[in-house]
Structures are given as C-alpha cells and as structure tokens.
Amino acid sequence: MAAEPPAATTVTTPSDREIVITRAFDAPRRLVFEAWTTPEHVRRWYGIRGTTLSVCEIDLRPHGAWHYVIRGPDGAEYGFRGEYREIVPPERLVYTEAYDVEGLRDHPSLVTVTFAEHAGRTTMTSVSLYESAEYRDGHLASGLEAGMVQTLDRLAELLPTLRR
C-alpha cells in the first residue's frame, strides 16, 4: 500500500545545489496542473498573501516563455521569468526560472515539477537545480520557504473553487 502524501509544504535541500518543495493537494492532478499552468488561475494564487500578480504571461509550449511580476502591498514589484523545456500534461513540467534583476537573470535555475495522483489527492514535487551553492543559498535566504508555504496554501484554497 502506498504511503499517504504529506499534508503540509516541505522544503528540503538534498544537495548544495538543490531545493525540493513538496505539497499534497486534495484535488486530482489534472486540476492542479490546470491551476499551475493557466494564467487566470495562477493570478489568483501565486505569491504571498497581500500581493498580486501585475503580470502573468504563460506560453505553455516547449521553448515558450513565462513571466510573472509580483506587486507587494507597498507597490514594489518583483519579476520572475523563464522558458519551458518540457511539458507533459498533467504530470510534469520542466522550465528555467530566474529572478528578473541585474546580476541574477543570467543565472536561472532548472525546475522540474511533477504531479502524482493517489486516491484523488495530488502530490506536487518541485526540484530546483541551481548552477552553484551560492545561488541556491541566496534563494533560500530570500524567504523562499515562508513564501512557498503561503503561496501553496493559497493554491490549496483555490482548488475547491475550480472543481467541475
């Protein structure tokens, strides 16, 4: 019998260049994948509480670009962008991700996100591979763990509203 997926968001660092984020959702993977890849849905959950996405562009195809800009309550904006490398609906996405600021945009991480369904629940696992420990540690120091917990909590709250 398969183990139950974790209920909370977990963030681990299995190597000096990786960050692994895992979260289970009470929804089928088709729905989680849709919420992860459709701009109208992503706008409703991506980012910590109190922020909005002022830009949410997704060209969901190999070599297609994505671009998000998070606007904080104070009006400050933080951009992220990347390129899709592999798309296997509804089970896997591979893409690059870079913080859109001078000095960091040329150092993207490679992100592999998988969606595994068991008994109507979906476990999302995101593995980010950085070009160096320095870049990985910088991302961790930016508040990644707390931010991902809030962001994925928002996704968990949205999913029941998307069920058809």
Angle between helices 133-141 and 144-162 (to 10 degrees): 70
How high is the pLDDT of residue 136?
92
Rounded-to-integer distance, Cα 153 and Cα 149, Å = 6
Rounded-to-integer distance, Cα 73 and Cα 36, Å = 23
Q: How far apart are the first and last CA of the chain?
A: 29
- Domain ranges, ordered by start, for the chain: 10-46+88-162
Cβ(161)–Cβ(155) below 8 Å: no
Cβ(35)–Cβ(162) below 8 Å: yes
Grouped pLDDT means (10 residues each) for the chain, 164 residues = 61 97 96 98 96 97 97 94 97 94 81 97 97 92 90 96 80
The strand pair at 10-12 and 52-58 is best described as: unpaired
CATH superfamily, domain at 10-46+88-162: START domain (3.30.530.20)
Cβ(126)–Cβ(111) below 8 Å: yes
How high is the pLDDT of residue 121?
95
How high is the pLDDT of residue 163?
73
How high is the pLDDT of residue 100?
82
**pTM of the predicted model as reported, rounded to 2 decimal places:** 0.91
In a 13 Å sphere around the CA of 63, the CA atoms on its Cβ side amount to 0
In a 13 Å sphere around the CA of 115, the CA atoms on its Cβ side amount to 24
Nearest to 106 by CA among 144, 70, 135: 135
Question: In the 8-state DSSP scheme, what is residue 3?
Answer: P
* Secondary structure (3-state) at 115: strand
Rounded-to-integer distance, Cα 128 and Cα 145, Å = 13
